[in-house]
Amino acid sequence: MTEPMNQQVRLKATPDGIPSADHFVVAETALVPPSDGEVLCKNLYLSLDPYMRSQIAGRHMSGSIAPGDVLKGETVSEVLESKHPDFKPGDRILVPGGWQTYSTLTPIVDPLRPDGARMLDARITPPSLALGVLGMPGLTAYAGLKHLGEPKEGDVVVVSAASGAVGSMVGQYAKSLGCTVIGIAGSADKCQWLTQTAGFDGCINYKQELVADGIDRLCPNGVDIYFDNVGGETLDAAAWRLAVGGRVILCGLISQVNSGEPITGPNPAAFIRARATVRGLVVYDFWDQMDDMIGTFVELIAAGKMHFLEDVSTGIEAAPEAFARLMNGKNFGKTIIKLA
């Protein structure tokens, strides 16, 4: 019987600007059997996330990617062969398996390490949710809003990139806490899903009106919490419309992630005027709250108070094009590659 081959996506060339599928190449290599302390996994689902663009640019705290390297990424995987005492064949685990169909690695058994291996929580079904609403994006939304935004019932919450894996969870979690929620998204379909399915109170289509005009229209008394996934002009527009005592959570930089040049930020006078609190969010600081987030969000999903979208492509060869769509803002929901 022919031994299966490992298919990998490697960086072909570092993009200057928005990546395209041509910046990546799919290669085949033999499987690597595990040594002592290692496991051989079959990767089932791969998560694609905006932070990977910063890895490719060499600007992310989790490491960099150079031409010739296999792209990094979290996977839901099945253990095929184990020489590690904590894992056995058949276990389904979350590991940094990367953009490949198989991975041989030394699992880090530490629940407080973002790069640690952990068993797939039995409450998570389908398993792909462990990479989205019930994984790192969900924890980003949960911890950022709860601990940095400190929401109160009646607060007006505005979230950018609102139809994405993080933004959509921020808004729905805020709604469950009694807040008024306004999203910012880039298409009529996305705005319709946010208001009609996800329960947002309003949505600004930034391709049809200025964000500043939309906030003035939908938030006449100002913004209590602004959850920023974008930066740039969107952050500036929200900053000038903060209510007194407003809170800003700085989470993402979509507006500049494809650019090598830093983008000028908002005038500090906007924050001074509002006596605002501005806090940067790094989800790794809250990794110990993963179980709390899963419990909270599972209950909201079961009660019909939290909805999610997955943008699923099949096969490792689909990953470059799916990543290019993500970086162009053409994804709709959490970007997932189904590998097996």
323 has a pLDDT exceeding 60: yes
Instruction: Measure the CA–CA gap between 114 and 122, rounded to whole angstroms.
Output: 19
Per-residue pLDDT tens digits for 278-295:
999 999 999 999 999 999
39-47 and 334-338: which strand pairing?
A: antiparallel
What single DSSP character describes residue 70? Answer: B
User: Residue 100: is its pLDDT beyond 90?
Assistant: yes
pTM of the model: 0.91
In angstroms, the CA 163 to CA 247 distance is: 21
> How would residue 263 be classed by pLDDT, with cut points 50, 70 and 90?
low
Q: How far is CA 278 from the centre of its chain?
A: 21
Kindly report the number of other CB atoms within 10 A of residue 199's CB atom. Answer: 16
What gap in Å lies between CA 85 and CA 220, rounded to an integer?
59
Nearest to 104 by CA among 135, 123, 121, 83: 83
Say yes or no to pLDDT of 300 above 60. yes
State how far the Cα of 216 lies from the Cα of 83, in Å rounded to an integer.
Answer: 60
Whose tokens are 């590998």? That residue is 339
Cα distance between residue 145 and residue 170, in whole Å? 7
SS3 44: strand
Q: Which of 108-122, 149-163, 235-249 comes out lowest in average pLDDT?
A: 108-122
